[in-house]
């Protein structure tokens, strides 16, 4: 039962237990609201039988007090079991999603964009928070309490009970039969939301380019269309839900009418007495009240299925696992007949074999789309290979836990990610337990002193979101300082100097030269002058290793490599005529 609830509603085990507790609390609350009805019924009986004596007045006064206390206690229990427990579960759900995303292979993120994932963690979690605090416990509580009360009504008079409860299955059937339509409407609304969030995010990120190309108005016109479409989808979703919920609620109203009609007929024939007729009128007036809300809750629960499926897509995605014990002997990286294709079906690597030896610089070059970046990502197990294997010091990386494996790697990407924090703390990302002295030593090796000394607070200066207060070269040097601080035996470089000016390029190349000493270095190279200093060059073309050897060897025996050198020489000598 608990496992089914976890799967159906994307809950933790404790969340499933709290949901069961919340449903029980709602059942008790609905039943407690019937106690005053019974007290009122008994009061009417006493009144019709000759009045209420002093002792009976005390009895009813005590009964009212007991009802108030009972309702208060049960309502407090219901509040804690539904709302407070749900808020705790909402936090657990967000953390579990974030933890899952941390362990999911990066190939998953190729199918998802940032707005979609943000929507799952924030919007979907918020939707489910409302669903489990307001809808699900109240719905299940209403169903169980109504069933119990209906059984009791049949014990009094089956004809009157039938007149009261016939509307229940009809009303619920209308709502349940609409589930596919409501899921369709809600999925369209969620898709419109994601598209809108994508548009807003893209607009903010590309505003500079839009202004530079006078394309701002045209882009905003398209964004307004997304806003209008999202609004229309939500209106249609609300109308579609309301159509079925209102119809179901109207059906419930017929129950009061049929009880009145059936009771009147039976009363005229003398088959029931006035107190019995009064009892049923009292009960049905209370019976349908929680059910009206339950029908709305049922519609909301049906609509939430789209959000739950989106979250389960993340929670059910397989994670990369492996041993936490490293068994490598040395740090040579060997690709052995490796093949890889993205989930889109696009084959990137077909049959790649080469060895990057410890103490050497191995450069990956080749035409755009040849698989250079993919090779470097596979080497660090950002993705898993489809065929073949990759080893580090003879250890198959597919058998090692990704976080344990990455302890062997320092990676310097071309696109640096920085945090809105100080320079010191951004460098400390390389090794969180590093002392300030160690951080400063790494910063000095990466030539960070040159710009940090000019800032008001030095290394304690805040650098803004993604380092917006710094230049590209300064951001890149912080990234290299992280690698110095981590001091891993394997270095992966994604041409860290390709987009920098000459001065920054010289500084960063000097820092990189110090960083790579005695390590296994795999560098993605776009500039041939970077490759000229490599110990080995691997030329990737069309998903295969087309050529490999030293730069000097390839200049004499290769075809692709000499051609690339020639083209870059022509490009370097180009000038405006």
Q: What pLDDT score was predicted for residue 489? A: 92
In sequence order, what are the residues at sequence separation of 6 or more whose Cβ sits closer than 8 angstroms to the Cβ of residue 552? Answer: none
What confidence tens digit (pLDDT) does each residue in 507-560 have?
667 777 777 778 898 988 777 766 777 889 999 988 889 999 998 998 888 888
At 420, is the pLDDT very low, low, confident or very high (cuts 50, 70, 90)? Answer: confident
Residue with structure tokens 């496992």? 3
At 502, is the pLDDT very low, low, confident or very high (cuts 50, 70, 90)? Answer: low
Give the end of a domain, one of 315, 350, 383. 315
Q: Are residues 112 and 220 in the same domain?
A: yes
Query: Own/partner pairs for 90-94, CB < 8 Å, 24+ apart?
Result: 90/125, 90/126, 90/128, 90/129, 92/12, 92/14, 92/15, 93/10, 93/11, 93/12, 93/15, 93/125, 93/128, 93/311, 94/121, 94/125
In sequence order, what are the residues at sequence separation of 6 or more whose Cβ sits closer than 8 angstroms to the Cβ of residue 478? Answer: 416, 418, 423, 426, 427, 443, 446, 448, 467, 470
Asked whether residue 320 is assigned to any structural domain, the reply reads no
User: Taking the mean position of all CA atoms in its chain, how far away is CA 4?
Assistant: 21
Asked whether residue 25 is assigned to any structural domain, the reply reads yes
Asked whether residue 557 is assigned to any structural domain, the reply reads yes
At 503, is the pLDDT very low, low, confident or very high (cuts 50, 70, 90)? Answer: low
Q: What pLDDT score was predicted for residue 497? A: 60
Separation of alpha carbons 251 and 154, rounded Å: 21
Domain range enclosing 472: 333-572
pLDDT at 354 over 90: yes
pLDDT at 107 over 80: no
Q: What is the 3-state secondary structure (H, E, C) of 149-215?
A: HHHHHHHHCHHHHHHHHCHHHHHHHHHHHCHHHHHHHHHHHHHHHHHHHHHHHHHHHCHHHHHHCCC
Give the end of a domain, one of 315, 342, 376. 315
Asked whether residue 324 is assigned to any structural domain, the reply reads no
pLDDT at 352 over 90: yes
Q: What is the CA radius of gyration of the chain?
A: 35
Torsion of CA 387, 393, 395, 401, to 10 degrees: -100
Q: Are residues 242 and 339 in the same domain?
A: no
Q: How far is CA 346 from CA 107, 319, 336, in A?
A: 12, 22, 21
Q: Are residues 367 and 266 in the same domain?
A: no
Highest mean pLDDT among 103-107, 140-144, 232-236, 251-255: 232-236
231 vs 282 pLDDT, higher one: 231
Point out the least confidently predicted range of 137-141, 218-222, 297-301, 446-450: 297-301
What confidence tens digit (pLDDT) does each residue in 189-218 have?
888 888 888 888 788 878 888 888 888 888
Mean pLDDT value of segment 160-181? 83
At 110, is the pLDDT very low, low, confident or very high (cuts 50, 70, 90)? Answer: low
Q: Are residues 239 and 368 in the same domain?
A: no
pLDDT at 83 over 90: no
Q: How many residues does the chain have?
A: 577
pLDDT at 304 over 60: yes
Q: Which two tokens stand for residue 527?
A: 């500039």
Q: Are residues 84 and 169 in the same domain?
A: yes
Q: What pLDDT score was predicted for residue 338? A: 93
Q: What pLDDT score was predicted for residue 520? A: 92
Residue 450, domain CATH = 3.40.50.300
Mean pLDDT value of segment 495-505? 61
Give the end of a domain, one of 287, 315, 343. 315
* Half-sphere exposure in the Cβ direction for 398 (13 Å, CA): 12
Point out the least confidently predicted range of 6-10, 91-95, 168-172, 535-539: 6-10
Q: What pLDDT score was predicted for residue 560? A: 86
Question: Using the 8-state DSSP alphabet, how is residue 400 labeled?
Answer: B
Q: Are residues 277 and 419 in the same domain?
A: no
56 vs 388 pLDDT, higher one: 388
Q: Are residues 271 and 210 in the same domain?
A: yes
Q: Are residues 370 and 464 in the same domain?
A: yes
Separation of alpha carbons 18 and 195, rounded Å: 34
In sequence order, what are the residues at sequence separation of 6 or more whose Cβ sits closer than 8 angstroms to the Cβ of residue 393? Answer: 328, 329, 330, 331, 332
Mean pLDDT value of segment 477-500? 81
pLDDT at 183 over 80: no
> Given the DSSP bridges, would you call strands 544-549 and 536-541 parallel, antiparallel or unpaired?
antiparallel
pLDDT at 390 over 90: yes
Q: Are residues 226 and 345 in the same domain?
A: no
Q: Are residues 311 and 339 in the same domain?
A: no
Q: What pLDDT score was predicted for residue 331? A: 93
Separation of alpha carbons 476 and 478, rounded Å: 5
- Mean pLDDT score across all residues of the chain: 83
Q: Which of 27, 32, 52 is nearest to 42 (CA)?
A: 52
Q: How many domains does the chain have?
A: 2
Q: In terms of pTM, does the model score above 0.75?
A: no
Residue 543 · residue 518 · CB < 8 Å: no
Point out the least confidently predicted range of 132-136, 166-170, 402-406: 132-136
What confidence tens digit (pLDDT) does each residue in 185-197 have?
888 888 888 888 8
Residue 261, domain CATH = 1.20.1560.10
Separation of alpha carbons 457 and 227, rounded Å: 43
Q: What pLDDT score was predicted for residue 574? A: 52
């Amino acid at each position: 039962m608990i496992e089914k609830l976890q799967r159906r509603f994307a809950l933790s085990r404790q969340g499933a237990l709290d949901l069961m507790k919340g449903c029980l609390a709602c059942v008790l609350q609905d039943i407690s609201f019937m106690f005053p009805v019974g007290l009122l019924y008994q009061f009417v009986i006493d009144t019709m039988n000759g009045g209420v004596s002093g002792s009976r007045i005390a009895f009813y006064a005590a009964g009212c007090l007991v009802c108030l206390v009972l309702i208060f206690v049960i309502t407090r229990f219901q509040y804690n079991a539904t709302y407070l427990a749900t808020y705790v579960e909402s936090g657990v759900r967000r953390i579990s999603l974030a933890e899952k995303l941390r362990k999911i292979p990066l190939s998953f993120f190729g199918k998802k964009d940032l707005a979609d994932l943000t929507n799952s963690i924030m919007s979907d979690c918020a939707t489910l928070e409302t669903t489990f605090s307001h809808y699900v416990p109240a719905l299940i509580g209403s169903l169980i309490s109504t069933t119990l009360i209906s059984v009791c009504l049949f014990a009094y008079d089956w004809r009157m009970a039938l007149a009261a409860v016939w509307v229940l299955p009809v009303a619920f059937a209308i709502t349940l039969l609409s589930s596919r339509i409501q899921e369709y409407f809600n999925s369209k609304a969620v898709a419109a939301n994601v598209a809108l969030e994508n548009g807003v995010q893209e607009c903010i990120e590309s505003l500079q380019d839009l202004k530079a190309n006078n394309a701002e108005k045209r882009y905003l016109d398209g964004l307004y269309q997304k806003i209008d479409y999202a609004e229309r989808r939500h209106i249609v979703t609300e109308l579609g839900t309301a159509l079925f919920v209102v119809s179901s609620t109207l059906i419930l109203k017929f129950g009061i009418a049929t009880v009145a009609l059936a009771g009147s007929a039976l009363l005229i024939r003398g088959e029931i007495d006035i107190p019995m007729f009064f009892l049923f009128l009292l009960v049905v007036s209370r019976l349908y009240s929680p059910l009206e809300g339950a029908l709305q809750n049922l519609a909301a629960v049906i609509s939430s299925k789209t959000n739950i499926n989106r979250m389960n897509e993340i929670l059910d995605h397989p994670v990369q696992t492996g041993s936490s014990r490293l068994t490598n002997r040395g740090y040579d990286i060997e690709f052995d007949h490796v093949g890889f294709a993205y989930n889109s079906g696009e084959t990137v690597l077909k049959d790649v074999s080469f060895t990057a030896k410890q103490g050497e610089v191995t450069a990956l070059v080749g035409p755009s789309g040849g698989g250079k970046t993919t090779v470097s990502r596979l080497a660090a197990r950002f993705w898993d290979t489809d065929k073949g294997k990759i080893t580090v010091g003879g250890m198959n990386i597919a058998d090692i836990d990704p976080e344990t494996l990455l302890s062997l790697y320092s990676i310097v990407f071309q696109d640096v990610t920085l945090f809105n924090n100080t320079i010191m703390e951004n460098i400390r990302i390389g090794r969180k337990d590093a002392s300030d002295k160690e951080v400063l030593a790494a910063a000095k090796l990466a030539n960070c002193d040159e710009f940090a000394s000019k800032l008001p607070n030095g290394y304690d200066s805040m650098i803004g979101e993604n380092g917006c207060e710094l230049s590209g070269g300064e951001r890149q040097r912080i990234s290299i300082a992280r690698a110095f601080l981590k001091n891993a035996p394997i270095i992966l470089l994604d041409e860290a100097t390709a987009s920098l000016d000459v001065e920054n390029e010289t500084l960063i190349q000097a820092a990189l030269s110090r960083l790579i000493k005695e390590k296994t270095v795999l560098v993605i190279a776009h500039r041939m002058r970077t490759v000229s200093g490599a110990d080995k060059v691997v030329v990737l073309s069309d998903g295969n290793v087309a050529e490999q050897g030293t730069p000097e060897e390839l200049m004499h025996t290769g075809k692709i490599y000499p051609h690339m050198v020639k083209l870059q020489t022509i490009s370097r000598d180009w000038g405006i005529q």
